[in-house]
Structure 1
Amino acid sequence: MEQVVELTNGAWPLLLNAGKALIVLVLGWIAAGAISGMVRRRINATPQIDPTLGNFVASLVKWVVLAMVLVAVLGIFGIQATSIVAILGAASLAIGLALQGTLSDLAAGVMLVVFRPYKLGQYVDIGGTAGTVKDLNLFTTELVTPDNVQIIVPNGQSWGSVITNYSAHETRRVDLVFGIDYGDSADKAIEIIHSVTSADKRVLADPEPWVKVTNLGDSSVDLTARVWCAADDYWDVKFELTKAVKEAFDAKGISIPYPHSVEIKKEA
């Protein structure tokens, strides 16, 4: 009986400390989220500061607060901060090897924020993975595809890959290719394309729209039209001009041929 009482008395402080540690962890996690959210809102409310920096700093603040919470939890169990530093110092090599990927992502995240090859809201292609940048934090970049699929790219992979930023500049060039029949007038078709593009107010006058015969295909004479527009209007201009030119060709008697072949029989 005395042994049971003695074990109970010995286990009680441990259970009490575990309960305190759990409370500190929960409150710390909530506090970290609240503080990082407040930092993000304050920074993003300043027009002079890019929102990408706000998200990154908020992520940094969250992890710093969580690190402080971890130190506090270890302190509850009697492990002092100086002891933690000593343990980490002795195990620095092992930790570095184990977390080299994570540390690489962290360093890459800093480089992405400093050099800013992309920002929040921009449409980018990172090593063959394309989407709109939704978030950039300490370790990862979050992309959202046009069909609303979430893609998480580690910052180390992002920084080490070829980055194509489709939203970096205010304007983009739209290339359109139209095939017409060999029996139709190329000059007439070019005139029609010019009239359609000039009627679209989204098409910029400078640089001037360009339409040329660019290829003599097996079944068609190919005309390429190059126009410039605001980057945000790129897809609408591309799709709507394609439709408008096709309808104008139909109205003016310009045909878009189907691929076909001609069989020639030679007499023996």
Structure 2
Amino acid sequence: MNEEIEQLQTISNTVTQYLMNNGLQIVVTLIILAVGYLIAKKLGKAVERLMIGKKIDVTLSRFIGNSAHLVVLVIVIMMVLARLGISVTPLIAIVGALSLGAGLALQGMLSNYAAGLTIIITRPFVVGDTLSVQGQTGLVESVHLAYTILVDEDDVHIQIPNRLVVGEIMHNSKEEKLIELCVGVAYKSDPHQVINLIKEVLQGIEGINTERGTTVGIDEFADSSINIGIRFLAPTYQYFEFKYAANLAIYDAFKQQGIEIPFPQREVSLINQATQQA
């Protein structure tokens, strides 16, 4: 028991002596670390605001701002370690060895980071675009080094690893999404009248982009109807709202103009048994 007390007393005396001899240096080092962190943070934000002010892509601006923050912070940490008398050369060697092992173990994660860097540099899409990839569609909310986040009309956040974005077939319709409709009319109807009527209906719906990508025409000649295909662009975040509004407006216009929307019919003939025997 006495030996343990003596050991604790020795450790306490050593720590006290170290703090007395190096207390001022430790305080200065902590101040340098705190000030360096604040400078790195403010510098990163300043770089990001400067690039956004120059009308550079938001995603690229955030990436460069975060990179500047990280570089300054690493420099400050190296200065602090050197001030404490800790050599950074062995530390760099250890970090390099650990990075090699981690790289082999985390190939999938590193491929996401590499793909994210490719997206940020090449910018095949930016924040606010409508992206369709891997069967998912939504507005690009943010692009990170490891993943991209999409938001659909139901405000559901979809996180897609960047390695599944780069190199895949991708549809980018900017801030709008293509809506495709199909309505059948009777063969006795005048298709020219129907097509012009649908175009007028679409122009009357506020929010639909009738100047870009709007197409109305005969899609096919079905068994009981002439099917009219309709394609137009609308804001992605209100996709279903505009789709349902267009369907209802077309139905009301057809009803007002007396245009018939046919339904499948089948004729059944009954043959009299006596007649069949004759």
Q: Which amino acid aligns with 1:164?
A: H
The 1:86/1:172 distance shift into structure 2, 3 A limit, reads closer
For 1:117, what is the secondary structure of its paired residue?
coil
144, 152, 156: which one aligns with 1:149: 156
More displaced stretch, 27-36 vs 241-250:
27-36
Q: Which amino acid aligns with 1:2?
A: E
1:215 is matched with 221
Name the Cα RMSD after superposition.
4.0
The aligned runs of 1:79-118 (5 Å cut-off) are 79-118=86-125
Q: Per-residue deviation at 1:154?
A: 3.1
Question: Are the aligned partners of 2:153 and 2:238 in contact in 1 as well (CA < 8 Å)?
Answer: no
The 1:254/1:75 distance shift into structure 2, 3 A limit, reads same
2:259 is matched with 254
2:53 is matched with 45
2:268 is matched with 264
Q: Tell me, which stretches of 5 or more residues in structure 2 are unaligned?
A: 274-278
The aligned runs of 1:1-268 (5 Å cut-off) are 1-10=5-14, 32-47=40-55, 49-68=56-75, 71=78, 79-167=86-174, 175-182=180-187, 184-197=189-202, 202-204=209-211, 209-212=215-218, 214-217=220-223, 220-226=225-231, 235=239, 238-258=243-263, 260-262=264-266, 264-267=268-271, 268=273
State the Cα deviation string for residues 150-192 of structure 1 (Å, max 9, x = none): 3333333322433221218xx8765431122456554543343
Q: Per-residue deviation at 1:81?
A: 1.2
More displaced stretch, 179-188 vs 49-58:
179-188
The 1:70/1:10 distance shift into structure 2, 3 A limit, reads same
Relative to the length of structure 1, the TM-score reads: 0.73
The 1:20/1:263 distance shift into structure 2, 3 A limit, reads farther
Relative to the length of structure 2, the TM-score reads: 0.71
For 1:222, what is the secondary structure of its paired residue?
strand
The 1:264/1:185 distance shift into structure 2, 3 A limit, reads farther
Q: Tell me, which stretches of 5 or more residues in structure 1 are unaligned?
A: none
For 2:165, what is the secondary structure of its paired residue?
helix
Q: Per-residue deviation at 1:251?
A: 0.4
Question: Are the aligned partners of 2:40 and 2:69 in contact in 1 as well (CA < 8 Å)?
Answer: yes
Q: Which amino acid aligns with 2:268?
A: I
Number of aligned pairs?
A: 260
